[in-house]
Amino acid sequence: MVKNPFVTLEQVQEIAKEYPTPFYLYDEKGIRENAKKVQRAFAWNPGFKEYFAVKATPNPFLMKILHEYGCGSDCSSPAELMLAEAAGITGQEIMYSSNDTEPEEFRYANELGAIINLDDITHIPVVEKVLGRLPETMSCRFNPGGVYRLSNGIMDNPGDSKYGMTEEQIFEAYRILKQKGVKHFGLHAFLVSNTVTNDYYPALARTLFELAVRLRNETGCSIEFINLSGGVGIPYRPDQEPNDILKIGEGVHRVYDEILTKNGMGNVKIFTEMGRFMMGPYGALITKAINEKHIYKEYIGVDACAANLMRPAMYGAYHHITVLGKEQLPHDHRYDVTGSLCENNDKFAVDRDLPEINKGDYLFIHDAGAHGFSMGYNYNGRLWSSELLLKEDGSVQLIRRRETPKDYFATFDCFPVGKKLDEIEDREKF
């Protein structure tokens, strides 16, 4: 597979005249086309809903686009609930799937009418205490433990995961919820992250569908929705075969009919909580080459750093890089592409074969649309970039301004910083 940027060098050069690099750029056309395809993949299930994982790309402008296609919001913190509300997403269009949760978070989620998805059985009395009673609709997160395998090998190790309840706990939880007046029940599980296989969702669906039948038979609780959560990944490397969401939907449909429909549960709604698949390929970090260094290796320094995109530094994750305007040139130079942090892992690429890079070249770092900007931080006092939306008509919309020194110092209210922040903010360099 060839990874092609969704923007040209000429477009970036024009954008950079108004919005200095680095910046995040999102592809509105790609986002919309993908959202339509997801809806098409699960159209066989009348109650289907994608609850976009806000943590992946917490921007209300993008959330609103997805909402146009029926997507709700999967939230796990009060700030994410606020973002959902700001985007006009409330009520049961919000799934609150948190862990290690403060009691007041449950109150806020309930005030918005969100579905509360319990991560642990001990949260039941907490919710009851803070709300005075349990909501009529609740969900529970399941963790099967052990190692999760598919036909193509070991996928992950849920037994080491902090999420969810054991099988024994989840049966007890439903019995308690029913006894305390809950009427509508959901089931949820998150077992594997970033799978590039069409088999994961159908396999997870089988696990959850079989469990749902047993829960109904043994507790008397009617499971009205089953949330497959996230885990559907994207091909970060050019040689990876992308997931086919239409085939994934067909696979879940087959298992649904085989288990749920056969057992008289053909009205169960299917929910998903995809973040990476919904947004990952449709966002890029655009950065400019500003330095070169020739020591024991060849280095290209760019004006972005791990504070803008931490996945390569944190996980050793691969993000493909295109040197805009040099797409057809041979990759005959080997570089480490680095940022300016005082950390040696501040590298977007290590020993990467690329075309010759000159100062002033623009680099398009692919697949940064999810868990990119949202994982940013301020180490070394580096400031967050802007976020821009490349509209379908070719225009560009600012959807988050870049951070300024005034923003960075705003929480220091206990002593003077020595300079007027407005003067600092006015410096065009920042």
Q: pLDDT tens track of the chain, all 430 residues?
A: 689 999 999 999 999 999 999 999 999 999 999 999 999 999 999 999 999 999 999 999 999 999 999 999 999 999 999 999 999 999 999 999 999 999 999 999 999 999 999 999 999 999 999 999 999 999 999 998 866 665 445 445 666 778 899 999 999 999 999 999 999 999 999 888 888 999 999 999 999 999 999 999 999 999 999 999 999 999 999 999 999 999 999 999 999 999 999 999 999 999 999 999 999 999 999 999 999 999 999 999 999 999 999 999 999 999 999 999 999 999 999 999 999 999 999 999 999 999 999 999 999 999 999 999 999 999 999 999 999 999 999 999 999 999 999 899 888 877 665 555 555 554 444 4
pLDDT for position 156: 57
* 3-state SS class at 126: helix
Whole-number Å distance between alpha carbons of 409 and 215: 52
- Alpha-carbon span 408 to 84, nearest angstrom: 25
Output the pLDDT for position 430.
45
Q: Are the beta carbons of 369 and 284 closer than 8 angstroms?
A: yes
Neighbours of 156 (CB within 10 A): 18
Residue type, 362: Y
N-terminal to C-terminal alpha carbon distance within the chain: 38
State the pLDDT at residue 428. Answer: 47
Six token digits for residue 10: 């000429």
342 is catalytic: yes
Q: What is the CA radius of gyration of the chain?
A: 23
Contacts of 274 (CB under 8 A, 6+ apart): 38, 50, 52, 53, 230, 232
**Contact in structure between 147 and 181 (CB atoms under 8 Å):** no
For residue 71, give the nearest of 45, 98, 93, 97 by alpha carbon.
93
- Nearest Cα neighbor of 367 from 277, 240, 282 is 282
The catalytic position among 71, 75, 221, 342 is 342
By CB atoms closer than 10 A (0-12, 13-18, 19+), residue 308 is buried
Of 379, 387, 260, 222, nearest in space to 313 by CA: 379
Residue type, 7: V
Q: Which 8-state DSSP code applies to residue 17?
A: H
Query: Among 70, 4, 3, which Cα is nearest to 37's?
Result: 70
Q: Which two tokens stand for residue 331?
A: 């990759």
CB burial string 365-397: b at 16+ within 10 A, e below: bbbbbbbbbbbbeeeeebbbbbbbbbeeeeebe
Instruction: Give the H or E element holding residue 156.
Output: strand 153-156
Q: Where are the domains of the chain?
A: 26-280
CA 302/CA 93 separation, integer angstroms:
40
26-280 fold:
TIM Barrel (3.20.20)
What is the distance of C-alpha 161 from the center of its chain?
18
Q: Which ranges of 114-243 would DSSP assign to H, the alpha helix?
A: 123-131, 167-179, 200-219
Pairing of strands 386-390, 396-400: antiparallel
